Chains A and B, each alone.
Chain A
Amino acid sequence: MAKFLEYVPGDSLLHRMSPAAKLVGAVLFAVACFVNSNLVFLLVMLVIALALAASCGLGRQTAGLCKAVLGFSVILAVVLVLTTPAGTPLVPLPWGYIGTGSLLAALTVIVRLMAAAIPLFLVFYVTRMSDITNAAVKQLHVPYKYAFTFTSTVHFIPVFMNDMAGIMEAQTARGVAFDGSLPKKIRLMVPLCVPLLVSSVRKTNSTAIAAEVRGFNLRTRESGYKDYPLAARDVAALGLCVALLGAAIALTALGA
């Protein structure tokens, strides 16, 4: 089973698209989600994102991602509900009220974050990390240093998650009970940041040394042997993303 943000091999349309087109398309899609606050429009975007995930056979990964984003966005939504008095008052608060507008805003935040996040994360599931780096350097003219830093960061996420799971397991075997209330859990997990930090620094250092000895600083835009030409499907997909962004801007301009 693929780990978090780990490439899943496949032959879907998204898999076959150029990495640069996927990256740019995902960014345009995410920008469109943030340009407009119309709930119906955002729901349409969410449906498109889910359909894209389903077309790649990544339902399980997307469900996990949605769960994670939901957890994060619910926190934002709660803050929004409590601090944005709008619409018809429903629940009075000492500092204002919770209204229909507050609930709508909270729902909008949840839908927006999920719709924007899915395509961005899908890019990593349907593209090899090396292809993302190479395409970013060759086609998008991103300096290799930055492209490598970015992809390394993403690459390390599942590694560190695995490390943290191993560390927690080791402490459980020593008698630490991680079940119980959230404050207790947090209190128990804080000391575990030390071994995680140590292992992260060691791994990062090893990676940096390995990159140096393999001529990291000599690498230029021309170094990659692989080309990523744009095919008709890439242009069409980018056109669709531009159209979605245009629609979002137009709806905002019209006040919808």
Chain B
Amino acid sequence: MIEFKNVSAGYDDGAPVLRDVSFSIADGEFVAFVGTNGAGKSTTMRLANGLLKPRAGEVLVDGASTRDLKVSELARKVGFLFQNPDRQICCNTVREELLFGFKALGEEGPAADAAVDAMIARFGFDPDAEPFLLNRGTRQLLALASIIVLAPPVIILDEPTTGLDFRECVKVMDTVRELNEGGTTVIMVCHDMEVVADFARRVIAMTDGRVVADGPTFEVLRDPAALKAAHILPPQVTEVALILGREVPGVPPAVAEADTVSQMVEALAAARGEEAVGSEADAPSDDVAAVLAAEEAAAPARPAACAEGSR
């Protein structure tokens, strides 16, 4: 569990970036932090893994204050994926990169080798490939793999999908979802509300160093006051549903409350007394995902997670 208790923080002697922030994240949650640039999201992430110590208040990881722990000690519990994978990658081969974390923690050995082999197989990496010559998406995936190979109970993702195309984004986020389903706590900073809506189960919205909304994803994304305070727009489906509910008379509540395209299609069909056509994967907006899934299934060296086509 990660707890922020009345935390204020800043850099050097500058003005505080976070002001009196309090929240707690339980084990196994998938939380997205949203808000504009400069809202304090990344600072919150840096506090959570001890890279930054609070000026006031306390940050607790499993009950222990980050003030009393070195970042290298916290690394075992809290994995951190940076926005730019090139700041993280530093070895000459993919295998060395995946082993780097074990070396840093002094945990080399057969168990580490086995974990690295499993990760190579899972993602279909070429173990001898030069990491810096991989494409952007694969480098991001390698950076993620080199964090999760250590199996930390918590992973923090700082804008993990920035600069990735749709296919790469799906690969990274499907991996994250699998981890979360396996019990890993996921904390993510994200500007893409579609990604947030698809993957996160809780949203914490921040503005000017303060938490302005905290709750289940769609509760926050459907709250006009929270959206306004955090200067964010909801995902398109949610926005359409909100507009329909607000401005079109006679729209059934199930349509206005739909969170996904398939839910909206089903609600509209039900309102007309028809049966909705197909499953969620067959819904019109998911065509791209279905094509992707088929392509991925056909490609032998792709990660298994990609074949699921999450969106």
Q: A-side interface residues toward B, CB under 8 Å?
A: 1, 163, 166-167, 169-177, 179, 191-192, 194-195, 198-199, 202
Q: Are B76 and A175 in contact (CB under 8 A)?
A: yes
Q: Are B12 and A176 in contact (CB under 8 A)?
A: no
- Having A169-B87, A174-B146, A175-B104, one finds 19 other A-B pairs with CB under 8 Å, namely A1-B13, A1-B14, A163-B87, A166-B87, A170-B87, A171-B88, A172-B51, A173-B49, A174-B80, A174-B100, A175-B105, A176-B72, A194-B91, A194-B132, A195-B86, A195-B88, A195-B89, A199-B87, A202-B86
Which residues from chain A contact B72 at a C-beta distance below 8 Å?
172, 175-177
The contact string, 1 if C-beta is below 8 Å from chain A, for chain B 1-43, is 0000000000011100000000000000000000000000000
Main SS at interface, chain A: helix
Which residues from chain B contact A192 at a C-beta distance below 8 Å?
90
Q: Are B92 and A194 in contact (CB under 8 A)?
A: yes
Q: How far is the CA of A194 from the CA of B88 in the complex (A)?
A: 11
Q: Are B88 and A170 in contact (CB under 8 A)?
A: yes
Q: Does B101 contact A (CB under 8 A)?
A: yes
Which residues from chain B contact A174 at a C-beta distance below 8 Å?
75, 80, 88, 100-101, 104, 146-147
Task: State the 9 A-B residue pairs at the shortest beta-carbon distance, nearest first.
Answer: A175-B75, A175-B104, A177-B72, A173-B80, A175-B105, A170-B88, A170-B87, A176-B104, A172-B71
Closest to A173 in B: B80
Q: Does B55 contact A (CB under 8 A)?
A: no
Q: Are B12 and A1 in contact (CB under 8 A)?
A: yes
Q: How far is the CB of A196 from chain B (nearest CB, A)?
A: 9
Q: How far is the CB of A172 from chain B (nearest CB, A)?
A: 5
Q: Does B70 contact A (CB under 8 A)?
A: yes
Q: How far is the CB of B163 from chain A (nearest CB, A)?
A: 13
Q: How far is the CA of A198 from the CA of B131 in the complex (A)?
A: 11
Q: How far is the CA of A170 from the CA of B70 in the complex (A)?
A: 14
Which residues from chain B contact A199 at a C-beta distance below 8 Å?
86-87
Of residues 46 through 102 on chain B, the ones whose CB sits less than 8 Å from some CB of chain A are 49, 51, 70-72, 75-76, 79-80, 82, 84, 86-92, 100-101
Closest to B84 in A: A166
Q: How large is the interface on B (under 10, 10 to 19, 20 to 34, 35 or more residues)?
A: 20 to 34
Q: Are B90 and A175 in contact (CB under 8 A)?
A: no
Q: How far is the CB of A187 from chain B (nearest CB, A)?
A: 12
Closest to B45 in A: A173
Q: Can you spell out 9 A-B residue pairs with CB atoms less than 8 angstroms apart?
A: A166-B82, A167-B90, A169-B51, A170-B88, A174-B100, A175-B104, A177-B72, A191-B90, A198-B86
Q: How far is the CA of A202 from the CA of B85 in the complex (A)?
A: 14
Q: How far is the CA of A172 from the CA of B71 in the complex (A)?
A: 6
Which listed residue (B75, B89, B91, B92) contacts A173, Cβ 8 A?
Answer: B75
Which residues from chain A contact B80 at a C-beta distance below 8 Å?
170, 173-174
Q: How far is the CA of A227 from the CA of B75 in the complex (A)?
A: 55
Q: How far is the CA of A222 from the CA of B20 in the complex (A)?
A: 56
Q: How far is the CA of A1 from the CA of B13 in the complex (A)?
A: 9
Q: Are B104 and A191 in contact (CB under 8 A)?
A: no
Which residues from chain A contact B132 at a C-beta distance below 8 Å?
194-195, 198
Which residues from chain A contact B70 at a C-beta distance below 8 Å?
177, 179
Q: How far is the CB of B81 from chain A (nearest CB, A)?
A: 9
Closest to A188 in B: B104
Which residues from chain B contact A167 at a C-beta distance below 8 Å?
87-88, 90
Q: How far is the CB of B193 from chain A (nearest CB, A)?
A: 26
Interface centre among B13, B88, B150 (most CB of A within 10 A): B88
Q: How far is the CA of A1 from the CA of B10 in the complex (A)?
A: 13
Closest to B147 in A: A174
The contact string, 1 if C-beta is below 8 Å from chain A, for chain B 262-296, is 00000000000000000000000000000000000
Which residues from chain B contact A163 at a C-beta distance below 8 Å?
87
Which residues from chain A contact B101 at a C-beta distance below 8 Å?
174-175
Which residues from chain B contact A176 at a C-beta distance below 8 Å?
72, 104
Closest to A190 in B: B90
Given A1-B13, A173-B49, A174-B75, A195–B105 Cβ distance below 8 Å?
no
Given A194-B92, A195-B89, A173–B12 Cβ distance below 8 Å?
no
Q: How far is the CB of B107 from chain A (nearest CB, A)?
A: 9
Q: Are A195 and B90 in contact (CB under 8 A)?
A: yes
Which residues from chain B contact A198 at a C-beta distance below 8 Å?
86, 132
Q: How far is the CA of A195 from the CA of B89 in the complex (A)?
A: 7
Closest to A168 in B: B87
Closest to A165 in B: B87
Which listed residue (A1, A170, A179, A194) contacts B82, Cβ 8 A?
Answer: A170
Closest to A197 in B: B132
The contact string, 1 if C-beta is below 8 Å from chain A, for chain B 119-137, is 0000000000000100000
Q: How far is the CA of A194 from the CA of B147 in the complex (A)?
A: 19
Q: How far is the CB of B189 from chain A (nearest CB, A)?
A: 14
Which residues from chain B contact A1 at a C-beta distance below 8 Å?
12-14
Of residues 199 through 254 on chain B, the ones whose CB sits less than 8 Å from some CB of chain A are none
Closest to B78 in A: A173
Which residues from chain A contact B13 at a C-beta distance below 8 Å?
1
Which residues from chain A contact B87 at a C-beta distance below 8 Å?
163, 166-167, 169-170, 195, 199
